[in-house]
Amino acid sequence: MQEGEILALLGRNGAGKTSTLRTIARLADPQLRQGEIWLDGQPLHRMSAWQAARNGVGLVPEDRRIIAGLTVEENLKLAQIEGPRGWSIEKLYDHFPRLAERRLQEAVTMSGGEQQMLAVARALARDIKLLLLDEPYEGLAPVIVQEIEKMLQEVRRAGYTTIIVEQNAIAALHLSDRAIILDMGEVVFQGAAKEVIDNADLRHEYLAI
């Protein structure tokens, strides 16, 4: 991947998308049986999950894992307790003004879209190089999806590299620079996101769109 690009990792359910993200973040089987994973010259395949996180991998899981009982700001501060810090709390609020408005609100009482913003902001609170997003649009209203997309465009302009796994493939493709399609764990396409948008046969065969 190129620094600062967004990659859509697509495929039907069970194709291996989430497993790929978990493998990169070292949350899957810690003993990578074949292949290597390198990030900025560092061998992620030799690391545990906490080591990968300290070396720049930020995973936003599908369930977001917002910590109950803590405010928005406490969730962000907790992310900065250990390891290198990324964006400051105030910079995060500048980019995500909705979170600033709710900084003292218990985070789990926010809407799903607001919690998704917090999950991404929490990842950026650490010093990351690679942002992994698992189903960021799931269950969100179209207007909130648009807000999340604007947020991710800001993240791209800030120079972060992003991999997005998303069932709403068209939305992910319009946001992304490149795409990879998986089928039963195998790569069946890699290229420009626009190629997938323009190829109805490819989408029908592997994405059922």
User: Which CATH class for the 6-65+128-206 domain?
Assistant: alpha beta
Give the number of residues written for the chain.
Answer: 209
206 touches 13 (CB < 8 A)? no
- Report the pLDDT value the prediction gives residue 141, as an integer from 0 to 100: 87
Rounded to two decimals, what is the model's pTM?
Answer: 0.91
Q: How far is CA 49 from the centre of its chain?
A: 16
Output b/e per residue, 109-142; b: 16+ Cβ within 10 A. ebeebbbbbbbbbbbbbbbbbbbbbbbbbeebee
Q: Determine phi and psi for 183, rounding to 5 degrees.
A: -140, 115
Could you read off the pLDDT tens digit of each residue along the chain, which spans 209 residues?
888 899 999 999 999 999 999 999 999 765 655 789 999 999 999 999 999 999 999 999 999 999 999 999 999 999 998 778 899 999 999 989 999 999 999 999 999 999 999 999 999 999 999 999 999 999 888 888 888 898 899 889 988 999 999 999 999 999 999 999 999 999 999 999 999 999 999 999 999 75
Fill in the amino acid letter for 53. Answer: A
- Res 32: pLDDT: 57
pLDDT at 139: 87
d(CA 189, CA 199) in angstroms, rounded, equals 12
